[in-house]
Amino acid sequence: MKSNVVRSIAAILILHGATSARAQEVKKIQDNSFLLEEAYNQEDGVVQHIQSFQYMHGGDWAYTFTQEWPVPTQKHQLSYTIPYLRLDEERPDTGLGDILLNYRYQAVLEGPIAFSPRMSLILPTGNEDWGLGTGAWGLQGNLPLSVELSDRWVTHWNLGATFVPRAKGPDRSEADTSGFNYGASIIYLADSSFNLMLELAGNTNETVSEGGRVEREYAFFINPGMRWAIDFESGLQIVPGLSFPIGIGPSEGDFGVLFYLSLEHPLFKPKPSSR
């Protein structure tokens, strides 16, 4: 169960949107949630590098690196996510997980509402014998919705699904597997550079056991945390974050700490204005 929790959270960690292109005098912190995906694609000419490290009670941990690019404008975004995992405290297995290649379409960015559906290709790069991957190609989709309730309050909503045909079990048997993810969050903007966050994220996940049997597992976490921004005149924005995932329901008894770091900067230096 704990191995599934770490894999699930490692996948959720990558599902970020990007900074809104709406002009504002003070740049707010956007596209820096931890377990949820915000519905803001990368604005024109800006690239984002996201790192997350989660350590769970018992010794399991997950590290992910994600890089997001506008192609070539905010309407379309490409990204990739590389996970590196440690699973099973009784027989530690550490290594590369399944890499995701992601495409997001900024369908709505009007007033307080943003919506950007995503589709991802799952590459079978993780060792399925160690439980680090599924051993097969797969697809994942997510529907992130972001709503600004006021100048101080923002909420985010996610609903998604994963499908992996012919996923492999420990005895090399195969079966089709599916999963679902869901979540919501509320963020309080104490000011433009410091936010308080509360995320709720859950998923169901199927794995293949011996004989090709498909087993379904469940996970649900609440995740209180905080994030803050450091802005530079060059356009670089650094966003560190810290949160404490706590399992409830099917994940009761699981808890840990999550460290987050985002670097976002323009791809090119702005040209000096001519008079």
Global pTM value? 0.88
Q: What pLDDT does residue 210 have?
A: 86
Q: What pLDDT does residue 268 have?
A: 74
Statement: residue 102 has pLDDT above 90: yes
C-alpha–C-alpha distance, residues 62 and 259, integer Å: 11
Return the CATH class of domain 2-266. Answer: mainly beta
Please give the average per-residue pLDDT across 31-50, as a whole number: 96
* Residue ranges of domains in the chain: 2-266
Query: How confident is the model over 191-245, as pLDDT tens digits?
Result: 989 999 999 999 999 999 888 899 999 999 999 999 999 999 999 999 999 999 9
Please give the average per-residue pLDDT across 163-181, as a whole number: 94
Q: What pLDDT does residue 23 have?
A: 33
Q: What pLDDT does residue 15 have?
A: 46
Query: How confident is the model over 51-82, as pLDDT tens digits?
Result: 999 999 989 999 999 999 999 999 999 999 99
* 202 in Cβ contact with 4 (< 8 Å): no
DSSP per-residue letters across 234-266: TS-EEEEEEE--EE-GGGTT-BEEEEEEEEEEE
C-alpha–C-alpha distance, residues 1 and 89, integer Å: 12
Statement: residue 95 has pLDDT above 60: yes
Statement: residue 19 has pLDDT above 60: no
172 confidence band (pLDDT: 50, 70, 90):
confident
* CB-neighbour burial class of residue 184 (10 A; exposed 0-12, middle 13-18, buried 19+): middle
Statement: residue 170 has pLDDT above 50: yes
